[in-house]
Amino acid sequence: MLWTEKYRPQKVNDIIGQPSFTLDAQSWIIQKDMPNVLLFGIAGVGKTAAATALAKEMLGEDFRMNFTEINASDDRKLETVRNQIKDIASTSKVGDVPFKIILLDEMDGMTKDAQNALKRIMERYSSNCRFIITCNERFRIIHPLQSRCANYQFKRLDADAMLEVMRNVLISEQMNKYSDEELEMFIESLHGDMRRGLTELQAACFSKSSLENQINKNLKPFTEIIELLIENKHHNALEKVHNLIYDSYDMKTICVGLHDTVSKTDISHTQKFKFLRIIGEAEWRSGNMTPKVLASWMIGQMA
């Protein structure tokens, strides 16, 4: 079984590193009432897990019949809101629950028209349904929706919290084979992404690999790109970046990988800070540019 599922928080009290949300959520559970909620922050910090844990405690034994999860980046069209979401929100709740709960995961991928239609549904069926919205980038959610929700930023988990979780998982799995120093080095490479951390930790344990090898394996494609750039093989470097995009890497992930690689690469200070400046700007532009076009711009700036 995947460790990300096995050790997913089942109760609000199990959520780590997000005290503002957990304190309010505990109060909602006691009162059997809650607002619509918007959870935003980087990937892997527990937004979806927190939403599900809250819904389970709020709905109790009738959770399965009154909880619906929709990946809004997949079902992103206006018709999804007008048909599927409206139908769920308008049908009666089942059992002794205060309301139904709809989780709209990754909603920053939903179109503006669909989001505008959703705000009317949130108002019209407020007595029957609550919404939990998750997204990586809050600015992609229209302001009328933001204002109809209690907003909580899920922050990167700090190293101590991640170390404690990983230590407990390894003890539970009877695989306590890594030192704190190894785990700390591994955690530094994760940038607060707990989900990725558990996935890669499980992979390293089952393959009997060191955590250092796991880190190097993850950085390998980015190391190859930087080496090509240093050798002035910019066309080949661009091709490798495009291949990562075709393999479903987003530009933010690519920029983080390149940043970590450049930071550890032995090149002149002038070239290092030039690369870091361009990578930083590319990461900033990633919210507004097509990935392939942005990749071409980035590599062109590094030439």
Q: Is pLDDT at 75 greater than 60 in this prediction?
A: no
**The pLDDT of residue 286:** 87
Whole-angstrom distance, CA of residue 203 vs CA of residue 211: 10
Regarding whether 123 and 168 lie in a shared domain, the answer is: no
In this model, does residue 8 exceed pLDDT 60? Answer: yes
User: Are both 10 and 142 inside the same structural domain?
Assistant: yes
Residues 141 and 34 occupy one common structural domain: yes
Position 78 pLDDT exceeds 90: no
* Angle formed at CA 49 by CA 46 and CA 54, multiple of 5 degrees: 120
Q: What is the pLDDT of residue 273?
A: 94
30 and 127 fall within a common domain: yes
* Whether residue 144 sits in one domain with residue 22: yes
Which band of pLDDT confidence, cut at 50, 70 and 90, is reported for residue 28?
very high
**Number of structural domains the chain divides into:** 3
The mean pLDDT of 1-17, rounded to a whole number, is 91
**131-177 per-position pLDDT tens digit:** 999 998 888 899 999 999 999 999 888 889 899 999 999 999 998 78
Do residues 22 and 140 share a domain?
Answer: yes
Residues 144 and 260 in one domain: no
> Cβ(149)–Cβ(180) under 8 Å?
no
Residues 16 and 104 in one domain: yes
* pLDDT of the residue at 77: 61
Question: For 4-8, 78-82, 196-200, which range has the lowest pLDDT when averaged over its residues?
Answer: 78-82
**Mean pLDDT value across residues 88-109:** 91
Tokens 């990300």 -> residue = 4
* Residue 76 and residue 123 in one domain: yes
Binning pLDDT at 50, 70 and 90, where does residue 50 land?
very high
Helix or strand or coil: residue 151?
strand
CATH number where 264 lies: 1.20.272.10
What range defines the domain where residue 62 resides?
A: 3-153
Task: Output the pLDDT for position 139.
Answer: 87
Question: What average pLDDT does the structure give for the chain?
Answer: 90
- Are residues 116 and 202 both part of a single domain? no
Same domain, 37 and 96: yes
Q: Do 38 and 116 belong to one domain?
A: yes
The two tokens of residue 173 are: 């799995």
Terminal CA-to-CA distance of the chain, rounded, Å?
45
Instruction: Find out whether 162 and 190 touch, Cβ atoms under 8 Å.
Output: yes
What confidence tier does 80 reach under pLDDT thresholds 50, 70, 90? low
pLDDT digits (tens, 9 = 90+) for 122-136: 999 999 999 999 998
- State the CATH number of the domain containing residue 72: 3.40.50.300
